[in-house]
Each structure stands twice: as structure tokens, then as C-alpha cells.
Amino acid sequence: MEVAYSFAGLVVGFIVGLTGIGGGALMTPILIVVFGIAPVVAVSTDLLYAAITKFGGMWSYARKKMVYWKVVGLLLAGSIPGSLLTLNYLKGLEALESIESLMNMTLGVSLVLTSVAVFLRNRIREKALSFEHHPLAHRARLVRPYATVLMGLLLGCLVTLSSVGAGALGTAMLILLYPRMTMPAIVGSDLVHAVVLTSIAGAGHYTMGNVDLSLLIYLLAGSLPGVFLGSHVGVRLSPKVMQPIMGSILFAIGLRFVLAG
């Protein structure tokens, strides 16, 4: 079983390196559906798994000065309280069935939203850029900081409950709010936010006794070389081919969890 966990980590890591998406969105469903791990343990362990695997990428973008720290700060101003409130709510739920039902439904919704974000990312950017010339664009820019905090609050709740949403969904929201930002800056800012958010949410779940540390180690043993291999192969593949495939997979998995809930 330990070898199977590492192999799952290798496969998911390879896909992440290949496409840049799908870490938590694939790992949590695999742990629940394939290995039969309880949703609470799967989500909690995957949060720390995501924080560790994304740290290297975050550091790389930060060193290259491709992070908008003001945007990250606004996101965290919403996502940290959102995560802490969600953790506090989970602590108040005594019935394990209630927690798992809530997590399964949130996981399904998050995966469907993520698949839509993957499919429509380029179109969202085009529409947001065209709106920049609209008469209401100036007024929209005035409320943008508040919208960013609200977006962080939503992500904080979703990610803490499902471990999904900090990647593709967060990127799509940033594209919508900040269309003039370059894609490397959007990805870098989203990565920094994701690492901090998943670390806090994962630590909160750890204090509740939900994290399986041995499972985490086996997953990392496979995923770290997987990300390295996938990133080398991924430079030869067109995003126009990979994004629809990943979007379809995430949508199908998400629908399965929504219908099961």
C-alpha cells in the first residue's frame, strides 16, 4: 500500500508538472475513491501536501520578482479569516458523517468550478481586457481591493473544506480582477497565496488530529520527482491540447462527488 501511495504521488506530480494544474484537484479524489481514505483525512493531508509541493515554485517566482505582494496581502486578508472560521465551524460539528458529507459536496462543487476555470481561462482574460475600456471600468477598479478580499474569503472556505480551488480557480479569479497583470505575475501571486493558505488550513486540520503524516511522506516521495519529470515533458506539449483534457477530467470527477452527495 505504501508503494501505491507513492505511485499515486508520482502520477499526480507528473500531471502537475505537465499541465500546471490538478494537484489537490486530483490527489484528494484519488485518496477517497481509489484508496478509500476518509474524506476528512484525505483533505487534511492533501492541504499540507499542496503547501510543500508548491513551495519550490513559489520561491522561484518570488526570486524573479513575479509576485504582486499587495494583491497577495488582499487575498490573505480574506482567506485567512475564511479558513479559520471554517476550521472553527468544523470543530463544532460532532457527527463525522456531517463533516464528510459537507466535505464531499464542497469537493464536488470546487472541482466543477475549477474545471470551468480551466476551460474558460483565455476567454475570461479576453473579456476582462475588453471591459477595461468600458465607462464603468474606473468605478470597478475602485472596488477591486474589496472584491479581492471577498475572493480570498471564498477561497479560504473552499480550500479548507476541500483542499481544491487555490490553483486554477484562484488564477481565474485573479485574471478577472487584474487583467493587466502578466500571466507569470498572476501565477506567482496565486502560488504564494496558495502556499500560505494551505499551510494555515493544513496546520488547523493537524491540530484536530486529521492529518496522516506517514501518508503525507509517501505521497511526497512520489510527487516531487513526478513534478520534475512532468515539467520537462510539459514544455513540448501545447496548453490548447492539455487544458481541455484536464478540464474534462476535473468536471467528471466533480460531478461524481456532487451526485454522490
Can you give the pLDDT of all 261 residues of the chain as single tens digits? Answer: 789 999 988 888 887 777 666 677 888 999 998 999 999 999 999 999 988 888 877 887 888 888 999 999 999 999 999 999 999 998 888 676 778 888 888 889 888 888 888 788 778 778 877 877 777 767 777 889 999 999 999 999 999 999 887 777 888 888 888 888 888 888 889 889 999 999 999 999 999 999 999 999 999 999 888 887 877 775 556 566 677 787 888 888 888 888 876
Distances (CA, A) of 213 to 40, 52, 67, 99, 205: 14, 13, 31, 21, 12
The whole-number pLDDT of residue 226 equals: 84
The whole-number pLDDT of residue 238 equals: 58
The whole-number pLDDT of residue 237 equals: 61
The whole-number pLDDT of residue 80 equals: 97
- The DSSP line for 77-100 is HHHHHHHHHHHHHHHH---HHHHH
The whole-number pLDDT of residue 125 equals: 78
The whole-number pLDDT of residue 74 equals: 97
Letter for the amino acid at 92? G
Q: ∠ at Cα 148 (146, 152), nearest 5°? A: 115
| Dist. CA 23–CA 53, nearest whole Å | 9
Q: What does the block give as the cell for 52?
A: 510543500
The whole-number pLDDT of residue 145 equals: 92
Q: The whole model's pTM is what? A: 0.87
The whole-number pLDDT of residue 22 equals: 62
